[in-house]
Chains A and B, each alone.
Chain A
Amino acid sequence: MFRARPVAVAAALASLALAATACGTGGGQQEDGGPWKPDRPIELIAPAATGGGWDTLARTSGRVLEEGGLVDEPVQVVNKPGGGGSIGWAYVAQTPDTPTRLFVTSPPISLVPLMGGSTYDHEDFTPIARLATEYMVYLVPKDSPIESWGDMVDRLEEDPRQVSIAGGSSPGSMDHVALAGAVEAAGIDPTAINYVPFDGGGEAMTQAVGGHVDAVVTGASEAAGLVESGDLRPLAVSGAERASTLPDTPTLQEEGVDFTYDIWRGVMGPPDMTDEQVAYYEDLFTDMTEEESWKKQTKALGWTDSYMGSEEFGGFLDQSSTDSAEILMKIGLIEDEEGR
């Protein structure tokens, strides 16, 4: 079976084995003229370990696709953790001729390459669909003297040292970019803010509840529980509209700041996919987002439906990548739009 696919032999050892596996269940493309259909199990790569955000997205999608009877072939979730995603991306990029190998993705696909963590970026893959999105929320402890987003901006203007702001990930990642972009749009030098990175949004919020930091930025759904209990007070969300989980919290735009930040989630495929293949998957994921069980589960996770087809998604990716590069440049984390 190796003989049939010389390409695989040339590929990295890792991809070799799985390419050979795939061969075990049949060839790549359909020979007859009909619309393209996968003829072997669809591999949905989560470029992270079991249990993380990408893994949840991949396993949820896989389950909905299979249980809804939307696919004839099984959907296998394969974890390729490491390098903040770059291991999984390299794995997919190295098998351009395997149209049944997709991966789930979100903003790090632009941020990690910009920060120098991956040689592949979103342009090396075929966008398939954006599925859902979530917003960032900026919060303060319940007894904080900071009254509102505007109040926090005033304090930052006066002396950025006054306000330490926790986030769940390192500088140059989603939390930091969402914060820096917002304060920059509010007219404050983003390099001066005191951003304190913690290990995950949960830890960051705990530190805020305990009053060890003055504010925290994290995903809106993650914060919903502590907002409901009153331990944390939300100042603003980063979406274009208010978040369904935090209906009383104004958006940044309502607060007079022209900035939005999406934690979008989507699916991408290997480079060099044909139009028929893309069309097949677009239909498939459209159907998936219309399934009742998908709606129920994404709602529970606090995600908003925000479907985009391949082309629109591609344009969105280009735009959000440029935006992120600009913010990272202003913070001084990268030197030019090519990243560091």
Chain B
Amino acid sequence: MKPFTFSNRVLGAAVGVLAVVYLYLAFTLEEFTAVSVPVQPATLPKWLGAVLLVLAAVLFFQKQEDTGEQAGSDGDGDEASKTGGGAPARPAAARPALGRLADPRHELALFAASIGLYIALLEPLGFLISTTAYIAATTWYLGYRRHWANALVAVGVSAVLYFAMSDFLRVALPTGPLPF
């Protein structure tokens, strides 16, 4: 039900590893001796690493809370499905589902990869081409059927953003092979 959710054991261990690596890096920071300073650049990092290690241990041994209890202060993924405005639960095709893959984990990985591709192509292809292509492709993939509207939005949004930034505000976005 919840992709990428792990037990406190796993999370504690992961945070612990992060703390150890960070502590190692903190201890490799050179002492600053040229001018006398009361607090070394490595001092706070060492303390932070140590505190994080302790917190990781606490988390590791903490008993698992109910998953339902996890609603964080800034809107948790699952809570929303309960507040979904009276619509029937997920399985029914009450509204067009996003995406095409059965496993949400694959879907998320693919989505992250698509953003990566967009970022990688932003400068070589220029803002206009890459953004238009990205919007059009993603919208189509996610299952939007009105292709003309899609094309219009893709071209329109990229063009408006591009010309507003580069001509009006004089912020140079990558142009790519296009002459403007």
Contacts and interface: CB of A to CB of B under 8 A. Distances in A.
Contacts of B179: 24-25
A195 interface: yes
A24 B175 contact: yes
B33 interface: yes
Nearest to B34: A332
Given A13-B123, A13-B124, A24-B179, A191 B34 contact: yes
B123 A16 contact: yes
B17 to A, nearest CB: 29
Interface in A25-79: 25, 76-79
Interface string B155-180: 00000000000000010101111110
Contacts of A16: 123-124
Contacts of B174: 17-18, 21
B10 to A, nearest CB: 36
B172 A76 contact: yes
A333 B175 contact: no
A191 B123 CA distance: 46
The DSSP consensus for interface residues of chain B is loop
Given A13-B123, A13-B124, A21 B34 contact: no
A171 B124 contact: no
A24 B177 CA distance: 7
B35 interface: yes
Contacts of B35: 171, 191, 195, 331-333
A14 B170 contact: no
B126 interface: yes
Contacts of B33: 332
A171 B172 contact: no
Contacts of A2: 177
A191 B126 CA distance: 50
B135 to A, nearest CB: 20
A16 B123 CA distance: 8
Contacts of A195: 35
Nearest to A176: B35
A13 B122 CA distance: 10
A159 B103 CA distance: 71
Nearest to A77: B170
A48 to B, nearest CB: 14
Nearest to B33: A332
A241 to B, nearest CB: 31
A16 B175 CA distance: 11
A171 B34 contact: yes
A332 B34 CA distance: 5
A224 interface: no
Contacts of A279: none
Contact of B126 (A14, A17, A78, A171): A17
Q: Max chain A CB contacts within 10 Å: which of B123, B126, B174?
A: B123
Nearest to A59: B170
Interface in A122-174: 171
A24 B34 CA distance: 51
A173 to B, nearest CB: 13
Contacts of A76: 170, 172
Contacts of A1: 177
A20 interface: yes
Nearest to B125: A17
Given A195-B35, A332-B34, A333-B34, A20 B176 contact: yes
Given A24-B175, A24-B178, A17 B124 contact: yes
A15 to B, nearest CB: 9
Nearest to A18: B174
A27 to B, nearest CB: 14
Interface of A: 1-2, 13-14, 16-18, 20-21, 24-25, 76-79, 171, 191, 195, 331-333
12 contacts: A16-B123, A16-B124, A18-B175, A76-B170, A76-B172, A79-B172, A171-B35, A191-B34, A331-B34, A331-B35, A333-B34, A333-B35
* In the complex, the 10 A-B pairs of residues with the closest C-beta atoms, listed nearest first: A17-B123, A332-B34, A21-B175, A24-B179, A17-B174, A333-B34, A78-B172, A1-B177, A17-B124, A20-B177
Given A17-B126, A171-B34, 18 more contacts: A1-B177, A2-B177, A14-B123, A17-B174, A17-B176, A20-B124, A20-B176, A20-B177, A21-B176, A24-B178, A24-B179, A25-B179, A171-B35, A191-B35, A195-B35, A331-B35, A332-B33, A332-B34
